Amino acid sequence: MTKLLFLDDPYLQSAEAQVIGHTSEGGILLDRSLFYPTGGGQPGDSGQLSWDDKTLSIATCVKSEDGTPALVPSEPQSLPPVGAQVSCALDWARRHRHMRIHTALHLLSVVIPLPVTGGAISAEKGRLDFNMAEPPSDRDALEADLQTLVDRDLEVTMDWITDAQLAANPGLVKTMSVAPPTGAGRVRLVRIGLGDQEVDLQPCGGTHVARTGEIGRLRLGKIEKKGRQNRRVHLHLEEA
């Protein structure tokens, strides 16, 4: 099985790996994946592979049929052969912005404590869809509450529980449309804040910053009506 390096260390920017296969679509399978594959609303990572005297630009990473991360080249080019040792490097600036936005969306689900029906992340902004019949009454207060959580510089940590433990605690799951991945025997939890400072705990396989202060300044974007019971709330990083 491919070792998912991003699960244990989302700050790892480069690594060595071995090619273990190719997909029928031209994707590259490695024994160790630095690259996060598209999923949970978070885009796949981009970057570069190097081997011998060759380099290959990676446009994104997706899940192959069996769930193994597959690197997608930016353009048609000779692929590293099976067995080749490759050096992997992330487009770190893009990944780090995904981490900031993803953690910020967890905080958005704290200040809007309603079931989440969908979400998406990019390097500049993110959004969550909520089961929300009426728009927030005080948009400015909502934005201020969100920024307060960021500025508290809360620690973000990861824990693991078993599938059975998750099934016994359904309240941990905030998303209505996407169930957390189960079947492997354990599920990763993302916790924001420790002890009596804890503000959020939910299953998530994405990449996150180590402290909320790393998110920086946020701006609440437009709030759109998406159906009778759904509203889409947009969130932007203020600085580049």
Same domain? For 102 and 68 the reply is no
Residue 127, pLDDT > 90, answer: yes
Residues 106 and 188 in one domain: yes
Domain count, the chain: 2
Q: Which among 90, 123, 143 is the end of a domain?
A: 90
Q: Is the pTM of this model over 0.85?
A: yes
Q: When comparing pLDDT for 77 and 156, which is higher?
A: 156
153: CATH: 3.30.980.10
Task: Provide the terminal-to-terminal Cα distance of the chain, rounded to the nearest Å.
Answer: 37
Residue 173 pLDDT exceeds 80:
no
| 3-56 pLDDT tens trace | 999 999 999 999 999 999 999 999 999 999 999 999 989 999 999 999 999 999
Residue with the two structure tokens 């492997």? 184
- Count of other CB atoms within 10 angstroms of residue 219: 13
Element spanning 141, H or E: helix 139-151
Q: What is the CATH number of the domain that holds 78?
A: 2.40.30.130
* Side chain identity, residue 93: A
| 52 and 125 part of one domain | no
**Same domain, residue pair 66 and 122:** no
How far are the Cα atoms of 9, 159, 161, 189, 194 from residue 186, in angstroms, in the given order?
18, 10, 5, 10, 22
For residues 140 and 78, membership in a common domain is answered with no
Closest CA to 97 of 123, 126, 127, 59: 123
What percentage of the chain carries pLDDT values higher than 70?
95
Residue 166's pLDDT is 78
> Tokens representing 216?
């920086």
pLDDT, tens only, 105-125: 999 999 999 999 999 999 999
Q: What integer pLDDT is reported at residue 229 of this predicted model?
A: 85
Average pLDDT in the 184-209 region? 91
Provide the domain limits for residue 154.
95-237
Residue 45 makes CB contacts below 8 A (sequence gap 6+) with 6, 34, 35, 36, 58, 60, 61, 90, 91, 94, 95, 98
Q: Which amino acid is at 64?
A: S
Confidence at residue 239, expressed as pLDDT on a 0 to 100 scale: 74
Out of 41, 70, 90, a domain closes at: 90
Residues 117 and 226 placed together within one structural domain of the fold: yes
User: Are residues 13 and 120 located together in one domain of the fold?
Assistant: no
- Mark which of 90, 110, 138 sits at the end of a domain: 90
Q: Do 22 and 107 have their domain in common?
A: no
